[in-house]
Amino acid sequence: MHIKLPSPSQLRQRNVSNVVASGRIEGIVPTKQLEQSLSDYVSGKKNIAQLVEETKQRYVTLRRG
């Protein structure tokens, strides 16, 4: 019997869906920018380290500005 494993993109999508659902339960609505970043992650254009770094840079800029 051959078992078809989910692709990396499918795994990333499942993880993102779970995170977004958990956030919504807590009353957190993702911004358009976060939605785009998560889409880039699911498609493999970005990795988690890049998303974390981009987020840090946004908040450091906001605090200094």
Q: What CATH number is attached to the domain comprising 21?
A: 1.10.8
Residue 44 covered by a domain = yes
Residue 1 covered by a domain = no
Provide the domain count of the chain. Answer: 1
Residue 19 covered by a domain = yes
Work out the end-to-end distance of the chain between its first and last CA atoms, rounded to an integer number of angstroms: 59
pTM of the model: 0.80
pLDDT, tens digit, 9 for 90 and up, residues 1-39: 789 999 999 999 999 999 999 999 999 999 999 999 999
- 51: domain range? 8-64
Residue 2 covered by a domain = no
Q: Are 41 and 48 in contact (CB under 8 A)?
A: yes
